[in-house]
Structure 1
Amino acid sequence: MTTLILGGAGRSGTRILDRFAASGLPARPASRRTGFDWEDRETWASALRGASAAYVCFTPDLAFPGTPDKMAALGVLAAQHGLERLVLLSGRGEEGARLSEAALRSGGVPTTVLRCSWFQQNFSEHFLAGPVRRGRLRLPAPDVPEAFVDLGDVADAAVLALTRPDPLDATYELSGPELLTFAQVAEVLTDACARRIVFESVAVPTFVDDLAADGVPAEDATPLAHLFTDILDGRNASLAHGIQALLGRQPSSLKAYAGRTAASGVWS
Structure 2
Amino acid sequence: MEKILILGGTGKTGRRIARRLKADGRPVRTASRTSGDIPFDLDDPTTWAQALDGVAAVYVLEPNLRTGVDRRARMPRFVPEAVGAGVRRVVLLSAHGVGHADDSHPLKVAEQAVRGCGVGWTILRPDWFSQNFSESSWLPGILNGTLSLPTGDGRTPFVDAEDIAEVAAASLTEDRHSGQIYQLTGPRAISFGEAAHLISEATGRTIRHVDVAPEVFVERCVSDGVPADVARLLTGVLVAIRDGRGSAVSDGVERALGRPARRFEDYVAETSAAGHWS
Q: What TM-score does the superposition give when structure 1 sets the normalisation length? A: 0.90
Does the 8 Å CA contact 1:193/1:262 hold for their aligned counterparts? yes
Following the alignment from structure 2 to structure 1, what is the Cα–Cα distance between the partners of residues 232 and 270? 28
Which residue of 1 is the match for residue 185 of structure 2?
175
Which residue of 1 is the match for residue 91 of structure 2?
87
TM-fit CA distance, 1:144: 1.3
TM-fit CA distance, 1:266: 1.6
Which residue of 2 is the match for residue 259 of structure 1?
269
Query: Cα distance 1:222–1:130, how it changes in 2: closer, same or farther (>3 A)?
Result: farther
Q: Give the counterpart of 2:121 among 97, 111, 124.
A: 111
Which residue of 1 is the match for residue 3 of structure 2?
2
1:163 aligns with 2:173: yes
Does the 8 Å CA contact 1:16/1:158 hold for their aligned counterparts? yes
Does the 8 Å CA contact 2:187/2:249 hold for their aligned counterparts? yes
Q: Which moved more, 1:61-70 or 1:247-256?
A: 61-70
1:129-144 aligned at under 5 Å gives the runs 129-144=139-154
Q: Kindly provide the amino acid, as one letter, of the partner of residue 28 in structure 1.
A: R
Q: Kindly provide the amino acid, as one letter, of the partner of residue 149 in structure 1.
A: V
Q: Which moved more, 1:62-71 or 1:226-235?
A: 62-71
TM-fit CA distance, 1:69: 4.1
Which residue of 1 is the match for residue 236 of structure 2?
229
Q: Which moved more, 1:163-172 or 1:107-116?
A: 163-172
What is the Cα-based RMSD across aligned positions, in Å? 2.3
Does the 8 Å CA contact 1:62/1:90 hold for their aligned counterparts? no
Where 1:219 maps in the other structure, the secondary structure is coil
Query: What do residues 192-247 of structure 1 show as CA deviations (whole Å, max 9, x unaligned)?
Result: 111211111213464367668xxx83235862453232364143331011100010
1:67-86 aligned at under 5 Å gives the runs 67=71, 69-86=73-90
Unaligned runs of 5+ residues in structure 1 are: none
Which residue of 2 is the match for residue 126 of structure 1?
136
Unaligned runs of 5+ residues in structure 2 are: none
Q: Which moved more, 1:80-89 or 1:60-69?
A: 60-69
Q: Give the counterpart of 1:41 among 35, 45, 50.
A: 45
Where 1:11 maps in the other structure, the secondary structure is coil
Which residue of 1 is the match for residue 24 of structure 2?
23
Query: Cα distance 1:228–1:218, how it changes in 2: closer, same or farther (>3 A)?
Result: same
Following the alignment from structure 1 to structure 2, what is the Cα–Cα distance between the partners of residues 181 and 153? 20
Q: Kindly provide the amino acid, as one letter, of the partner of residue 256 in structure 1.
A: D
TM-fit CA distance, 1:46: 1.5
TM-fit CA distance, 1:151: 0.5
Query: Cα distance 1:266–1:118, how it changes in 2: closer, same or farther (>3 A)?
Result: same
Does the 8 Å CA contact 2:198/2:268 hold for their aligned counterparts? yes
Q: Which moved more, 1:55-64 or 1:251-260?
A: 55-64
Following the alignment from structure 1 to structure 2, what is the Cα–Cα distance between the partners of residues 182 and 123? 10
Does the 8 Å CA contact 2:127/2:185 hold for their aligned counterparts? yes
Does the 8 Å CA contact 2:177/2:256 hold for their aligned counterparts? no
Query: What do residues 74-102 of structure 1 show as CA deviations (whole Å, max 9, x unaligned)?
Result: 12111211210101111001421233201
Following the alignment from structure 1 to structure 2, what is the Cα–Cα distance between the partners of residues 129 and 209? 19
Which residue of 2 is the match for residue 11 of structure 1?
12
Query: What do residues 22-71 of structure 1 show as CA deviations (whole Å, max 9, x unaligned)?
Result: 11111110112222112212211211121000011332449984435411
1:53 aligns with 2:63: no
Aligned residues: 265
Q: Kindly provide the amino acid, as one letter, of the partner of residue 39 in structure 2.
A: G
Equivalent pairs: percent with the same residue?
35
